[in-house]
Amino acid sequence: MCSPSLLLDCCASKIYTVGRGLKVIRFLLALVVGVMSLGHASAQSPVPPSINSMSPSQGTAGTSLNATILGTNLTDVTAVNVSGDGVSVTLLTGRTSSSLPVRLSISANAPVGRRTVTARAPAGTSSGQVILKVVRGGWTSTGNLAVARGDHTATLLMDGTVLVAGGGINRCLASAETYNPATGSWSPTGFLASGRCGHTATLLASGKVLVTGGVTGSVTATAELYDPSTRNWTAVPSMQNARQGHSATLLPNGKVLVAGGDAGGGAPPLASAELFDPNTISWTLLPPMPARRKGHSATLLANGKVLVTGGLTPNGFDSTSLLFDPSTMTWVRTGNLNVARSGHTATTLPDGKVLVAGGGGGGRTAEIFDPANGSWANTGSMTDGRVWHTAVVLRNGKVLVMGGRPSSTFGDPFDTTESFDPATGTWTTVDLMNERRERFASVLLNTNKILAAGGAGSASAELFNPAGSDPGSGAPAQPVSLGTTPSLKSTFLAGRIVSPARPDGVGSEAFLDAATTLTGCNGKLYFYDHYGLREADPATGRVVTLVPSNTVHPFVTCDGRYLYSTATGLGPLTVNRYEISTGQSSSFSYSQIGSFNRGTGEYSLFADGALYTADSASGRIWRIDPFTRNRSLIIDFGGPIITPGSIGILGSRFPTVAQLGPFWIDGTNLYVLRAGAINQVNMDNGTVVRLIDWTSGFLWGESHFLYFPDFPNGTRIRRFDVTTGDLTNIGDGFPTGLWGDSSFLYFSESADLKKINRTTGQVTTIAGELPQRIDGIGTSARLADSLFISMTGDSKSLYIGDGAMIRVFDKASGQLSTLSGVGPFYIRGMWTNGTILILSDAACIRKIDLSTHQVTTIAGMPGQTGFSDGIGSDARFSGAQDLWSDGRDIYVNDNNVALRKVELATGRVTTLIRDKRYEGGAPHYIGWMWGMGRRLYYGDQAAMWSMDLDSGQVTMIPGTLIGSIAGIWGDGTYLYLSYYNVIKRVDPASGSISTIYASADNVSRGIYGDASGLYVIEAFSLRRLEPDALTRTFGIVELSVLDVDTAPSLSVVQAEV
């Protein structure tokens, strides 16, 4: 390259080399001018960079990401800096003057928040401001609301869904919608009688939701009830006073206390209070509060009283607090807040105290109320002072506060999330929401996640996973009796080691659930069950899942390259195709013929190089060329077979289409199940011959033989000779699918795969295992049931209601046996004192002498149901379920709608509770029960209730709206509940709930405990949940607690806190 000073001399020699004459000279002159201009420009003052954006602008702690900074003069940037700690930046290649690629590395312990990004160059530091948002990743987006709304309500219903009602942006909405956590989607659910904002919504003990007051154009006194079972809204009598900014609190007796608020139009706050009775659907005016207020909080305490705090009065922010006593219907003053506030949150802590945080006038401050002495104590301050925020108590006892506006400046809404730890009294910023929110609604889901929905101007919703953002949120609060929570492990005792949550495996370690079809090709077997399309190797017994159940239909067939399944949905006939070698799925469809659509899978078969499929809606069988996809008609039965509609105990049943098939093709003839018989169809001339009456099962054939199960006459697999009509039994089983090769006939059962040796007739199991009852020790023993298990025990043995029989587990030897000489029973509840065993048996209550095994009936009559009190055989039970005894009386759940007492000595039956929880109220749905001291604890609908066995008084345990309860046991202090796949601990004194164990598989209804741990059935194995022996000795009232909600497994789990 020539320097500018030598340019002419240097390049003159090149003129002769190039030899281009005048054109070259002109080129050189232009080059000289350009270079001289460049030298002149470089002498000017340099310009610092300017940045105006960065994408992406959000990163998660513990990750790295590539980003691009946009701006001007970025060519000479030598470094990019991010404010705060924990973020480093590397410059990448490919920059231009307006674009700068970088890599951001965010450390795992980087504080969350917004960081300023700047660029540095020799000419100086960048102008402009770019923000990097550092998050923990605990918040994730979920389905959007149908419409943006603020000042709405969100209520967790008993089925785990969430009802959002009213609210709005520019106007108050009448619409409502429900959120399904399983699908992450919202569904409309009717309309309120009028749009309303600033109302309240209260979940009643019946599962219905009471909505009161708010603004409907003007402040209203109207109220409505939402019924989740019908998804309808119904107007109820109006309140005595129109009000907004009021409170509504569910009392232990099922009534709702409404207090305060204002009537709008500049009217002063109200002092009035009133009570809604769900039984009479009426309002009763109560004595007024000692002081007017709105924007206050009202919190139900463990003692059944209601704490009302703060709010706005005619004099401004208020610091007074009141207690309402439902037993006397009176108000009394209690200790004053240290800081007057309104629009704050009030949250009940696990120890029964109440945390109040923020609000107008409250700023960053927080304080705690102690019901024992009526006093308030300051605690740590929040990072941000906020109002119109929300607060949720987590299952570990911490409190999560999110969103809102700055309480001092009312500036932009917050997206920050803070966690309060009652153990230390400190706040920690744990994450940032995806969106800034105020006047939104949040709720703790049964999944332990938090749903935040809407807010001023927003229709979005997001979920917060406490374990993802706050490492401490995955463990529950420590029980009072423990200084340090030890680790918890699950110890196998007896049964089959298998996990339905991880169904793939070899032989008996594989888990099959409702296998419904079978085909084979390339030396492998293929079948469909609850988990989807699965492959089994008949040589090794290995089973793997290929396609999940929601992407394939039940009846599969194979051509060596593809697996096919067909279905008539709510429109076309669809062919699904799975390529075995690549795992790729595809589909194609045909327009439907006929007005009846099955909406289910159709039988199909691959034969003669083509796919044959039934089309039940049109009564036809088609032949499809898999390469051209041309479809031709094989047989038309003249339309579908229609099953008439009917009205039964479950309601109306619409006309349905009978399924066409199964069928088999031998080249000339097609054999198909239709109209209660196997029919032979000649595919050349279309003639149909009825061969044999047959109504159910699967069909497979070879040569001139057809194979099918004979369900009406037992468990036989039969072979039918279509030429002679001979019918032969070739093996036993419960086949749900059939296929064969030259050596074996293979068949699927609901829970296993088997094969029959064609030469010897021997039947062997390839994979899976049918539930069975086998006595033995350890893995040689088997339990027939894994879910509907009853369990009780004494110091030596566990007694397990396994189907219709009683199993006995000897704790010392580990032997699982069947109690001889007794049964079968319809067992739903058991209790023992070590001498006798009491059990429910549908229509009666039985007693077994454990030394002689003699069975006697205490009350009721075997096989004779009804409902009447009486003595012994004069009494009737409609369906005895769960029971517990104090050794003198037996308390029985009768068909989930009544609680009855049976005197053990006399057999006298007395009904304690029946039909309605309150006069005119919702019916009972009583669950499992356990007694401690002179109190009986039981589940009713979705809550835990307590009955004083001396007075008969019944109260709901506050804070225990936890859904369906399966099994229960108590250690004298705490109650332990089996609940789907988790074990929960409930403190009856405070109502606090902790999850102490979670499994990938369901846990049995039956649960029992002793000084060594809790006993449960988990995935067909008996297990003991116990503390790690390395930590401390286990005591009955010192059950260790470990929250493993987020554990990925758990046939065996051992985790450390």
CATH of the domain at 710: 2.40.10
1050 has pLDDT over 50: no
- What would the mean pLDDT of 88-114 be, rounded to a whole number? 94
Residues 6+ apart with CB under 8 A from 810: 796, 797, 816, 817
Domain identity same for 128 and 145: no
Residue-level pLDDT at 880: 93
Measured at the alpha carbon of residue 168, what is the angle toward residues 163 and 169, in degrees to the nearest 5? 150
Q: How many Å apart are CA 883 and CA 890, to the nearest integer?
A: 7
650 has pLDDT over 60: no
Instruction: Point out which residues pair with 393 in neighbouring strands.
Output: 399
Domain identity same for 90 and 155: no
**Bond into 824 cis (ω within 30):** yes
Domain identity same for 905 and 1010: yes
Among 415, 440, 473, where does a domain finish? 473
Residue-level pLDDT at 231: 92
Residue-level pLDDT at 593: 63
Spatial contact of 674 and 680, defined as CB atoms under 8 Å apart:
no
Terminus-to-terminus CA distance in the chain, angstroms? Answer: 69
- The gap from C-alpha 534 to its chain's centroid, in whole angstroms, comes to 25
474 has pLDDT over 60: no
Instruction: Point out which residues pair with 200 in neighbouring strands.
Output: 212
Task: Report yes or no on 342 lying in a domain.
Answer: yes
Domain identity same for 849 and 864: yes
927 has pLDDT over 60: yes
**Bond into 655 cis (ω within 30):** no
Q: What is the pLDDT of residues 998-1014, one digit of tens each?
A: 787 878 778 898 877 88
Question: Considering the chain, what is the average pLDDT of its residues?
Answer: 84
Residue-level pLDDT at 597: 52
**Higher per-residue pLDDT: 652 or 180:** 180
The tokens describing 875, both together, are: 């009494």
Q: How many Å apart are CA 503 and CA 492, to the nearest integer?
A: 19
854 has pLDDT over 70: yes
Domain identity same for 729 and 871: no
Q: What is the pLDDT of residues 776-794, one digit of tens each?
A: 988 889 998 877 788 999 8
Residue-level pLDDT at 1034: 30
Task: Report yes or no on 802 lying in a domain.
Answer: yes
Closest CA relative to residue 848, chosen from 821, 873, 869, 826:
821
Spatial contact of 786 and 1002, defined as CB atoms under 8 Å apart:
yes
Among 135, 170, 201, where does a domain finish? 135
DSSP 882-942: EEEE-SSEEEEEETTTEEEEEETTT-EEEEEEESBSSTTSPBP-EEEEEEETTEEEEEETT
Residue-level pLDDT at 361: 94
Closest CA relative to residue 327, chosen from 289, 403, 275:
275
Residue-level pLDDT at 803: 82
Note the helical H segments in 181-240: none
Helix, strand or coil, per DSSP, at residue 797: strand
Residue-level pLDDT at 1009: 87
- The gap from C-alpha 432 to its chain's centroid, in whole angstroms, comes to 24
* 256-259 β-sheet, strand order: 247-250, 256-259, 273-277, 282-286
Q: What is the pLDDT of residues 412-464, one digit of tens each?
A: 899 999 999 998 999 999 999 999 999 999 998 867 789 999 998 899 999 99
CATH number at residue 876: 2.120.10.30
Q: How many Å apart are CA 341 and CA 373, to the nearest integer?
A: 21
Domain identity same for 851 and 992: yes
Domain housing 353: 139-310+329-473
**Higher per-residue pLDDT: 1027 or 69:** 69
DSSP 261-313: -B-STTPPBP--EEEEETTTTEEEEEPPPSS--BS-EEEE-TTS-EEEE--EE
Residue-level pLDDT at 30: 39
Of the listed ranges 146-160, 330-344, 974-988, the one predicted with least confidence: 974-988
Task: Report yes or no on 841 lying in a domain.
Answer: yes
Q: In the structure, what pLDDT confidence band is assigned to residue 1045 with cuts at 50, 70 and 90? A: very low
- What would the mean pLDDT of 782-811 be, rounded to a whole number? 88
Residue-level pLDDT at 10: 38
Task: Report yes or no on 753 lying in a domain.
Answer: no
Q: How distant, in Å, are the alpha carbons of 553, 718, 845, 906, 957 from that of 527?
A: 11, 21, 44, 56, 48
Q: Hey, which bits of 580-697 come out as E strands?
A: 585-590, 600-602, 604-607, 610-615, 620-624, 631-636, 642-643, 646-648, 651-653, 656-657, 663-665, 669-674, 677-682, 688-693
Residue-level pLDDT at 862: 92
- What would the mean pLDDT of 818-832 be, rounded to a whole number? 90
**Higher per-residue pLDDT: 348 or 950:** 348
Task: Report yes or no on 613 lying in a domain.
Answer: no
Domain identity same for 306 and 290: yes
Element (H, E) at 368: strand 366-370
Percent of the chain with pLDDT over 90: 52
Residue-level pLDDT at 552: 57
Of the listed ranges 18-22, 123-127, 260-264, the one predicted with least confidence: 18-22
Of the listed ranges 17-31, 80-94, 386-400, 425-439, the one predicted with least confidence: 17-31
Domain identity same for 250 and 340: yes
**Higher per-residue pLDDT: 958 or 929:** 929
Output phi, psi for 10, to 5 deg. Answer: -65, -45
Output phi, psi for 959, to 5 deg. Answer: 80, 10
Residue-level pLDDT at 651: 45
Q: How many Å apart are CA 1055 and CA 1057, to the nearest integer?
A: 7
Q: In the structure, what pLDDT confidence band is assigned to residue 541 with cuts at 50, 70 and 90? A: very high
Residue-level pLDDT at 11: 35
The tokens describing 1017, both together, are: 């059935």
Domain identity same for 58 and 155: no
The number of CA neighbours under 13 Å toward the Cβ of 217 is 5
Residue-level pLDDT at 8: 33
**Cβ of 857: how many Cβ atoms within 10 Å?**
16
Of the listed ranges 125-134, 161-170, 421-430, 465-474, the one predicted with least confidence: 465-474
35 has pLDDT over 50: no
Q: What is the pLDDT of residues 46-64, one digit of tens each?
A: 899 999 999 999 999 999 9
**Bond into 56 cis (ω within 30):** yes
**Higher per-residue pLDDT: 794 or 1033:** 794
Residue-level pLDDT at 1041: 31
Of the listed ranges 470-484, 623-637, 850-864, the one predicted with least confidence: 470-484
- Top mean pLDDT of 126-140, 282-296, 874-888 is at 282-296
The tokens describing 706, both together, are: 């057809």
Residue-level pLDDT at 1030: 32
**Cβ of 332: how many Cβ atoms within 10 Å?**
12
- Top mean pLDDT of 545-549, 621-625, 911-915 is at 621-625
764 has pLDDT over 90: yes
DSSP 33: H
481 has pLDDT over 90: no
Q: What is the pLDDT of residues 353-386, one digit of tens each?
A: 999 999 999 999 999 999 989 999 999 999 999 9
Task: Report yes or no on 640 lying in a domain.
Answer: no
Among 135, 150, 172, where does a domain finish? 135
SS (H, E, C) 261-275: CECCCCCCECCCEEE
Spatial contact of 70 and 98, defined as CB atoms under 8 Å apart:
yes
**Higher per-residue pLDDT: 753 or 730:** 753
Q: How many Å apart are CA 699 and CA 682, to the nearest integer?
A: 18
Residue-level pLDDT at 480: 29
Count H helices and E strands in the chain, helices first. 3, 98
Domain identity same for 28 and 75: no
Structurally, how many domains does the chain consist of?
5
**Higher per-residue pLDDT: 400 or 652:** 400
**Higher per-residue pLDDT: 478 or 140:** 140
Q: How many Å apart are CA 247 and CA 256, to the nearest integer?
A: 10
Residue-level pLDDT at 922: 60
Residue-level pLDDT at 1: 39
Domain identity same for 985 and 878: yes
Residue-level pLDDT at 867: 93
Task: Report yes or no on 583 lying in a domain.
Answer: no
Task: Report yes or no on 90 lying in a domain.
Answer: yes
Domain identity same for 29 and 75: no
Residue-level pLDDT at 34: 42
Q: How many Å apart are CA 237 and CA 973, to the nearest integer?
A: 43
Collect contacts of 635-642 with beta carbons under 8 A, ≥24 apart: 635/670, 635/672, 635/681, 635/683, 635/686, 635/688, 637/674, 639/594, 640/594, 640/596, 640/616, 641/674, 641/675, 642/596
- What would the mean pLDDT of 101-129 be, rounded to a whole number? 92
CA dihedral 227, 230, 235, 238 (to 10 degrees): -10
